[in-house]
Structure 1
Amino acid sequence: MKKLGAAIIGCGWVAEEYVKAFENDERSEVRALVSRNPANAERYRDRYNLKCAIETDATRMLKQEDVDIVAVCTPHNAHTQYVVAAAEAGKHVIIEKPPALTPEDVLKQREAVKKNKVKTIVSFVLHWNPLLMTIDHLIEQGAFGDIFMVEVDYLHRIWDLKWYGSLELSGTALMTAGCHAVDALRWFGRTPVEEVSAYQVKGGNPADYPGTISINVKFQDGKIGRSTTTFDAKMPYRFNIGIYGTEGTLRNNELYAPKLFPGQTDFLKIPCILPDSGDVSHHPFQGEIAHFLDCILDDRRPFPDIEDAARTQAVCFAADRSAESGRPVPLSEFKELL
């Protein structure tokens, strides 16, 4: 079977997870690593015995005919130049979250992808965490009845931020990491967001931006949502999830759903892997890569792709604008992303 060739731009922490995922799937292999510092690429080549090109210039890699997929793992402010270049070279693109730091850059990516008819996936990798997959199935089964409120929190004390603490390179707290929670909020909310209100606070965190933001959203069908992102709290990492409905409720991995379990008198625990680790080696990149390869080979739309992620970005942009301005922000202010 012919394998799909993968290239990775940016050889930092997360790149190793893509190397492992591509190499562990019999349908793909890594054929190029791109890094401004060749030593970063060489360590992964040597560690995993890769037979791949090492480049410092992505332009050279994009000319490789044996590269079908490009994973963009650079600092966030550099995503767009590489996503656009990869799309124009006819490569399918994996975009690390967030796809971009401005609405204008999100639009550039969408336009390039659409024009060149390539597939994308944005790495909201928790879509392949067993708990979130289970919640998705429970919603589809109607286990909660009519859902009227959803909440998802990203709670992760991040103090040694390096480039993640730079507003220019990484963006705000929502862009840096809280977008994972906003993505899940939208996924479980099932309908478009209409309006966002947010407050933020700058604590002692050395980041350029406030390390804590709390947002409330109103969905178009009337349900409400809530999400908090904090890098400041002294606590272990937690990715809290709550689903509240007329016939059932979920609090993280505790489920109360008498519709499914007649006679149930208390919450039952779902025995599965939780999304409660900030270590990328714990994140289900293998599932993400398997899904993307399936979609390429079967000519299906990946989820979440840049089209869907643009709507997540719109909520994040609206929340940051609300926190800065002190007013509710309708999503119509970012209608070009919807």
Structure 2
Amino acid sequence: MKTIKVGIIGSGGIAAQHAAAYAKLPFVEVTAVADVIPGRAQQFIERQGLDSAAAYESHEALLQQDVDAVSICTPNVSHHRTSVDSLLAGKQVLLEKPMSVTLAEALEMADAARATGNMLSIGFQPRYDPNMKLLQQIVQSGRLGHVYYVETGGGRRRGMPGGTFISKELAGAGAMADIGCYSLDMALNAMGYPRPLTVSAFTTNHFGRNPIYHPEADRFEVEDFGAAMVRFENDVVLQFKISWAMHMDTLGSTMFLGTDAGLKVTPYGSGPWSGVWDGKVGSMTMFHDEFGGHTSTEVPLIHHELNLFYEKVRDFAEAVRDGRPAPIPGEQIVIQQAIIDGVLRSSQERKEVSVELPGNVVALPVVS
């Protein structure tokens, strides 16, 4: 069996999860770690027990090494440059979400993957929940009829991060990109990633800028709440809302309204940090008419004990080994990035904005 040599770029908290997942795969060896902070990569190697790995202080130095693939676990602002450089260096790429900061960056990243033939896979582990796959199956089966309205999003009563997450320079965006990307992927993937036409949005950071609620209020530069209405090509509208903090217990369930039936989906978990689509499904209920009357049906959920993060890393590593396409192709996630870009532009300009995408941007099927 061929050994896949992997490099990890960025050695923060999420990188540790990548290292732990790779350690469970007998055909993978982590041979390099890079971090721009001097000494940090070596500390990560020692902490994770990566005896065969060498430390580097730039992704450029790591990319000169004999590695087949890289996990990119850096702050959002560096996703674009690091991914493009990795693809051009002949590496297969697993990139943590969000894909990028701007739409222009995402388009260049997708173009680089297309031009080189190397994979750019984006890290949305909730797709590996069997119930997320069931949700997609229900929506795409036609059982709901024509889906004309979708509402999604998540809201933490309190769940504001700090550090690089709240810096405009390093993160690019706040709650919209951090946890909103999960909500968007769930809804858009179920619908087959239709092309967006316009976005009308509103964002605020009332909580992040208030020292009563955040210890780093003086350096809080991104949004902690946002809401948007998105119009798509196929006569569908999406209501999207997200919150890191609010005086409310929930922003509601995700719902798909169709001409023949509706589907209501609740997130898994409870507590102030819950209510976000970064993990499992809590429940699914279908609303429909039977024999002239209203009825509802609880959709039986699939019980599982899967570690979704491990499943994401495993699928990527096996795709590298087997020469398969990217499990979650960046060329598809460009559409999501276009929406987030539209949200930020609309909020800043205080008006509805158009979403312009090149003709070669299409919703690629996911290979499972």
Shorter chain as normaliser: what TM range?
0.7 to 0.9
Are residue 162 (structure 1) and residue 176 (structure 2) matched? no
TM-aligned CA deviation for residue 121 of structure 1: 0.3
TM-aligned CA deviation for residue 230 of structure 1: 0.8
| Separation in structure 1 between the aligned mates of residue 232 and residue 359 of structure 2, nearest angstrom | 18
| Separation in structure 2 between the aligned mates of residue 264 and residue 64 of structure 1, nearest angstrom | 63
**Could you list the per-position Cα deviations for residues 264-306 of structure 1 after superposition, in whole angstroms to 9, with x for gaps in the alignment?**
94442644579xxxxxxx9722221232234334433224222
| Separation in structure 1 between the aligned mates of residue 300 and residue 344 of structure 2, nearest angstrom | 34
| C-alpha contact (below 8 Å) 1:12/1:40 kept by paired residues | no
SS in 2 for 1:324: helix
| Separation in structure 2 between the aligned mates of residue 49 and residue 237 of structure 1, nearest angstrom | 41
TM-aligned CA deviation for residue 179 of structure 1: 2.0
Residue in 2 aligned with 1:231? 244
TM-score for both structures, normalised by structure 1: 0.86
Residue in 1 aligned with 2:68? 68
| C-alpha contact (below 8 Å) 1:129/1:273 kept by paired residues | no
| Separation in structure 1 between the aligned mates of residue 15 and residue 247 of structure 2, nearest angstrom | 28
TM-score for both structures, normalised by structure 2: 0.79
SS in 2 for 1:197: strand
Letter paired with 1:285: F
Q: Which moved more, 1:312-321 or 1:232-241?
A: 232-241
| C-alpha contact (below 8 Å) 2:3/2:29 kept by paired residues | yes
Gaps of 5+ in 1: 275-281
Letter paired with 1:86: S
Partner residue of 1:204 out of 202, 207, 215: 207
Residue in 2 aligned with 1:100? 100
Structure 1 residues 117 and 321: alpha-carbon distance in aligned structure 2, compared to 1, 3 A threshold: same
Residue in 2 aligned with 1:215? 228
TM-aligned CA deviation for residue 85 of structure 1: 1.8
| Separation in structure 1 between the aligned mates of residue 303 and residue 355 of structure 2, nearest angstrom | 34
TM-aligned CA deviation for residue 35 of structure 1: 1.7
TM-aligned CA deviation for residue 196 of structure 1: 1.4
Structure 1 residues 324 and 227: alpha-carbon distance in aligned structure 2, compared to 1, 3 A threshold: same
TM-aligned CA deviation for residue 147 of structure 1: 1.9
| Separation in structure 2 between the aligned mates of residue 47 and residue 53 of structure 1, nearest angstrom | 13
Question: CA RMSD of the aligned region, Å?
Answer: 2.9
Partner residue of 2:183 out of 149, 169, 181: 181
Residue in 2 aligned with 1:279? none
Letter paired with 1:310: V
Residue in 1 aligned with 2:276? none
SS in 2 for 1:153: strand
Matched residue pairs, number? 327
| C-alpha contact (below 8 Å) 2:3/2:27 kept by paired residues | yes
| C-alpha contact (below 8 Å) 2:144/2:257 kept by paired residues | yes
| Separation in structure 2 between the aligned mates of residue 43 and residue 240 of structure 1, nearest angstrom | 42
| Separation in structure 1 between the aligned mates of residue 68 and residue 121 of structure 2, nearest angstrom | 14
**Could you list the per-position Cα deviations for residues 45-91 of structure 1 after superposition, in whole angstroms to 9, with x for gaps in the alignment?**
334432211222323321222x1111111111112221122112110
SS in 2 for 1:14: helix
SS in 2 for 1:168: helix
Partner residue of 1:305 out of 329, 344, 364: 329
| Separation in structure 1 between the aligned mates of residue 102 and residue 253 of structure 2, nearest angstrom | 27
| Separation in structure 1 between the aligned mates of residue 222 and residue 73 of structure 2, nearest angstrom | 22
| Separation in structure 2 between the aligned mates of residue 324 and residue 306 of structure 1, nearest angstrom | 26
